[in-house]
Structure 1
Amino acid sequence: MKKRILIITIIATFIISLTACGYKKPSNDNKSNGSESIDIDKDTSKDISKDSSKDTSPKDRESDNGNLGESNTKNVDNYKGDLLNNIKNKAQSGMVINSEFKAKDGVIDEVNNAYGKEDASNYIAEAKGIYYTFESKNLAFGCNKGAQIFEVRSFDKSLKDLNLQDIISYFGEPQYEVITDLNERIIGYKVNDDFKLLFVFSDSKNEKAVLDHYSVLYPRGTVNSMADDPGREW
């Protein structure tokens, strides 16, 4: 009888041991699966972050590099800094220094009423309009067929105090640059959604060339829908 009880006890103990081992194994598997799932989530998060940093639309890039923000006056003296600030601030509303007439909102009749008849008027096909020159005022106005002013050019004598490096030091690297057939270097900056600034230097090879003249351009004023002409960009 005692021998039978001993055998039953041994069998029961063996069964309990097997049950315990079977229970622990699933527990370890679950822990392993949980850890692997977390690692995958972390990797996915890193990939998404990396991809999103590269996903920049052209419009966003234009916004980052476009409208004039804070300008650098550290590398120019006080006089030049004040002059450049004046150029920038007037350009925000389509004007140049020492002139109250605006690109976009002005018409050439207003200029004639104030200054009298222009000294010269010439149609410039590449510039998309007629240019009226007022020599005594050191100004020229580009106009479309509707007499709207789309560009104001300044030849003010104070501009001779600025050179190419002054402009780049203040405004930063230009968004537009070209060498013309006349060996002029023209650099440009977007001011805001309406206006752009163009600076013209007579010597394209001289990195310290003196500024010859500059202008504020309203590109949309050069569009000619009737002739299917998209107008100027710069």
Structure 2
Amino acid sequence: MDQTKRFKQFAIGITFAIALSLTACSNNDANADTTAPPSSEAPTLQPSASPSTEPTIAPEPTDKPSSAPESGNGGEEGSAEAGQLIGSIYKLAKEGKVLGSEYAAHDSMYDEIEKSWGKADTNESAGNGIYATYDKKGITFGYNKGMRVFDVRSYSDKLNAITLKDLEIALGSADEKTVNGTDRIYTYKVNKQFELKFVISESTQKVDHISVYSPDDAKNNMAG
């Protein structure tokens, strides 16, 4: 009996030892670092896309001579309203017209104007032709002996806001500068047919009136 008892105790001890060994192995496996080791190589970074290089679009041509500086050139600032007005004047001048008149130099005949507008307030000879003035409209037409209009002038009060500085910022330096008494005349050649003249009064230092002038029609006084 004693031997049997000792054998059972020995067997139990062996079983307990095996159980402890298996538990230790299980714990070691559970504590093992299952995280994959980091790669020895740094990850490759994809370069960012380079900014697109779209072609530069050239600005649309403006209604002013190529020699004219951009507005604000040299740190100067002119009147925005004056600049817009000058742009409108220049655009119309390319058609021989001024603000306030649908009749153009070179294309219009004075007898047609007279039928539509009536008799002028004054109609007198001056320079190379005859000048008909409509005071209420602030418009004067110069026409030759063949009745063809070669000069259209505007005396609109809006023009009085324009200074020489405004002109030079908007249109650049004049193609021709002349003096008539106390007035200074700044002439811009808008195309082969027409010249645009700004007459600046010495007393106000601002534009008194403008003229859209067709030199060829002024020379040919018998054109018709």
Alignment TM-score, normalising by the size of structure 2: 0.64
The 3-state SS of whatever aligns with 1:137 is coil
Greater helix content: 1
**Structure 2 match to 1:213:** 209
Distance, in Å, in 2 between the alignment partners of 1:77 and 1:212 is 17
**Structure 1 match to 2:114:** 112
Q: Is the CA contact (8 Å cut-off) linking 2:79 and 2:166 kept in structure 1? A: no
The percent identity for this pair of structures is 33
Q: Give matches, 1:80-119, under 5 Å.
A: 80-119=82-121
Letter in 1 for 2:177: E
Residues 1:70 and 1:87: Cα distance change in structure 2 (over 3 Å): farther
Task: Give the superposition deviation at 1:199.
Answer: 0.8
Q: Give matches, 1:60-99, under 5 Å.
A: 68-69=65-66, 72-74=70-72, 75-99=77-101
2:185 aligned with 1:186, yes or no?
Answer: yes
Q: Is the CA contact (8 Å cut-off) linking 1:68 and 1:192 kept in structure 2? A: no
* 5+ residue gaps, structure 2: 1-63
Number of positions where the alignment pairs a residue of Structure 1 with one of Structure 2: 154
Moved over 4 A (4+): none
Task: Give the superposition deviation at 1:225.
Answer: 7.9
**Structure 1 match to 2:19:** none
Q: Is the CA contact (8 Å cut-off) linking 2:125 and 2:131 kept in structure 1? A: yes
Distance, in Å, in 2 between the alignment partners of 1:140 and 1:120 is 9
Task: Give the superposition deviation at 1:109.
Answer: 1.7
Alignment TM-score, normalising by the size of structure 1: 0.61
CA RMSD of aligned residues (A): 2.0
Task: Give the superposition deviation at 1:95.
Answer: 0.3
Per-residue deviation, residues 113-146 of structure 1 (Å, max 9, x unmatched): 2221100011113xx1100000000000000110
* 5+ residue gaps, structure 1: 1-66, 227-234
**Structure 1 match to 2:49:** none
Which piece of structure 1 moves more, 67-76 or 191-200? Answer: 67-76
Task: Give the superposition deviation at 1:100.
Answer: 0.6
Letter in 2 for 1:149: V
Larger Rg: 2
Q: Give matches, 1:151-190, under 5 Å.
A: 151-180=151-180, 182-190=181-189
Letter in 2 for 1:172: G
Task: Give the superposition deviation at 1:91.
Answer: 0.5
The 3-state SS of whatever aligns with 1:121 is strand
